[in-house]
Every structure is written in C-alpha cells, then in structure tokens.
Amino acid sequence: MPFHMPKGPEGFHIPGFIPPSAADIAKLCEVVGFDEQTGKKIMEIIRGFDTSMKERIIKVQREELNIREELLKDKPDLAYIQRSITNKTSLFAEIEMAQIKRDLDIKALLTPEQYERWSGAVFQKMRERMPQGMRDQGMPPMSQSTPQPGN
C-alpha cells in the first residue's frame, strides 16, 4: 500500500507546508524565547512564504488540470503532457528552494540555541497536525537536538 501524505490547502499536498496560525507563532515565540521585534520579523518571513506558496500551489494545480484535461482526449498530446510535467517539476523545485530560503532567513534572526528550539518546536507542531495514524508511520522518533553536518 503506498504511503499517503497529509493534504494542505484545497486538499493539495506540499511537503512540509502547513502554514502556522498566529497562535502557533505566539506559542513558538514563548518556547524559543525571542523578543517581540524578532517575532514580528519571523511573522513577515512566514507570511511572505505563505503568499508565495499559495501562488505556486495554484500553478501546480493548473498543470495537474492541464494533464487531466489532455488525458481525456481521444489522442492525448504526449509532448504537451511532458511540458506540463516539466513545469510541475520546476514548480516543486521552486517550492523546495523557498522552504530553504525561509528557514535560512529565520535562522539568521536567532541564536544557534534559539534556532534549535525553534526547529524542534516546529517539527513537533508538524507531527501534531498529522492525522493520527500517520504520526507513527514512517517518522523516526523525534530527536532532542538538531542534526549537525558530519554527525
């Protein structure tokens, strides 16, 4: 049986993307221990990411629809389908790069200790948002420290 990922906005899954609520951010600020100004900067980063993510999700969904519509034809154009798949792959690369940029922008605002607490708290929140049956499938036990290169 294939492994199914939880769905994001409009039922479309983007790995690692479930935008945090304002309450989530407030709790993270408390757990991590940074000032209000840093919290505001982090919220700006997250809101910018959320906005750009929604735009990319719409573009990916559009490509999915293009593929489905083409497959409904008596003689689907495989070159067209290939272009749509290539576009979709490019969008997923943009999504991954945006996630990395978001994380590095947040990391730049925090001390190493704060960032480690931030990463742990965000990971825990992601696990909490997973459907009950998925929390224990395919996910290693949560580490108390962030893995470092070379370890």
How far is 3 from 10, CA to CA, in rounded Å? 20
Ranges of each domain in the chain: 34-128
Architecture of the domain defined by 34-128: Up-down Bundle (1.20)
Q: How far is CA 53 from CA 25, 88, 97, in A?
A: 18, 14, 11
Whether the pLDDT of residue 139 is over 80: the answer is no
Structure-block tokens of residue 39: 């919290």
pLDDT digits (tens, 9 = 90+) for 60-117: 999 999 999 999 999 999 999 999 999 999 999 999 999 999 999 999 999 999 898 8
Residue with more model confidence, 106 or 127: 106
Whether the pLDDT of residue 150 is over 90: the answer is no
Q: What pTM, to 2 d.p., does this model score?
A: 0.66
Alpha-helical regions (H) of the chain: 22-32, 36-71, 78-109, 112-129
